[in-house]
């Protein structure tokens, strides 16, 4: 079995799949909706040279179980925390992409004692705007349409799929490929139900329903990095710029040639930025008095 091959652990009666590689300080990579730990395959090997890398398949995604139950940000954050503890680690640098960014944000203020650094990559939860494709999937009856979108014959017709997604504003090839690949997983009824429950917990027809902007002041006490693709047509880069302005001391890196998946579009730069950020910052270490003060002041 390769060092970063899929492993499994049972947590609270359900199987959680994850990748683990390397040794050293812990870095947890949290993927986005309809994605899996595979979204980090281009960066895990290099990170593992210096860090312990843990990349779970979130509940309802990838090779993890897809039970009926709670798919809120809080539930996902709790599962990531529990997996970390079960693997013998108390604290980590959390890197979250898209939905995973919202989960990392949730984890940083739900379990701040676990968070050494916070890295958000084209993150959800920082503004109202989100792509029409995601908003449409929250509409009543979307469960009846999703099996058609997931049909192999549609996705295999690359030009047709590209034309359909292009009309929804997706212009970067990687974005087209990853969204099509993600939707191909929705032919499974359990995965489809998990997707709808997860999406509706954070998005509604008018846009994102979860906005963590009023809690970003909490990130002032944690080394905080934002990475964003300039060409992201799913969650606009303006969300990253606004969050950066709200948090003194935060860092913002905009990747000019990337869309929604900078870890795939520009993996070498992604690694350089992430490793430099870790090397140049001290991990947050908050005592209980400091935690109480953070949550009672604004």
Catalytic residues: 98, 232, 260
Q: How many CB atoms lie within 10 A of CB 157?
A: 13
Identify the three-state secondary structure at position 251: strand
Q: At what angle do helices 73-86 and 99-110 cross, to 10 degrees?
A: 70
Residues with Cβ within 8 Å of residue 286, at least 6 apart in sequence: 112, 113, 221, 294
Q: How many CB atoms lie within 10 A of CB 174?
A: 19
CA-based max dimension of the chain: 58
Q: In whole angstroms, give the CA distance from residue 118 to residue 215.
A: 14
Burial bucket for residue 268 (CB in 10 Å: 0-12, 13-18, 19+): exposed
Helix (H) or strand (E) holding 119: strand 115-121
Distances (CA, A) of 293 to 112, 249, 297: 12, 19, 6
Q: In whole angstroms, give the CA distance from residue 114 to residue 222.
A: 11
Identify the three-state secondary structure at position 212: coil
Q: How many CB atoms lie within 10 A of CB 96?
A: 30
Q: 3-state SS string over 46-98?
A: HHCCCCEEEEECCCCCCCCCCCCCCCCHHHHHHHHHHHHHHCCCCCEEEEEEC
Query: 3-state SS of the chain: helix, strand, coil percent to 5?
Result: 45, 15, 35
């Amino acid at each position: 079995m390769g060092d970063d091959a899929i492993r499994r652990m049972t947590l609270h009666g359900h199987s959680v799949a994850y990748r683990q590689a390397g040794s050293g300080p812990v870095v947890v990579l949290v993927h986005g909706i309809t994605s899996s730990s595979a979204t980090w395959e281009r960066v895990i090997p290099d990170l593992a040279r210096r860090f312990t890398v843990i990349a779970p398949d979130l509940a309802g995604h990838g090779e993890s179980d897809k039970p009926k139950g709670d798919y809120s940000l809080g539930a996902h954050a709790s599962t990531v925390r529990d997996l970390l503890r079960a693997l013998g680690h108390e604290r980590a640098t959390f890197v979250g992409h898209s939905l995973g960014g919202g989960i990392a944000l949730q984890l940083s203020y739900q379990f701040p004692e676990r968070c050494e650094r916070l890295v958000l990559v084209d993150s959800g939860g920082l503004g109202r705007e989100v792509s029409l494709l995601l908003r449409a999937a929250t509409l009543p009856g979307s469960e009846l349409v999703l099996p058609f979108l997931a049909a192999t014959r549609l996705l295999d017709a690359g030009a047709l799929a590209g034309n359909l997604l292009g009309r929804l504003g997706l212009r970067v090839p990687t974005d087209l490929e990853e969204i099509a690949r993600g939707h191909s997983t929705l032919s499974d009824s359990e995965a489809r139900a998990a997707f709808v429950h997860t999406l509706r917990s954070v998005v509604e027809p008018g846009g994102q329903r979860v906005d963590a902007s009023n809690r970003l002041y909490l990130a002032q006490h944690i080394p905080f990095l934002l990475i964003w693709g300039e060409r992201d047509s799913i969650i606009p880069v303006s969300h990253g710029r606004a969050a950066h302005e709200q948090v003194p001391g935060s860092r913002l890196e905009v990747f000019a040639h990337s869309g929604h998946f900078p870890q795939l579009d520009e993996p070498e730069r992604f690694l350089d930025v992430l490793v430099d950020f870790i090397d140049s910052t001290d991990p947050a270490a908050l005592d209980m008095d400091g935690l109480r003060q953070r949550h009672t002041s604004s």
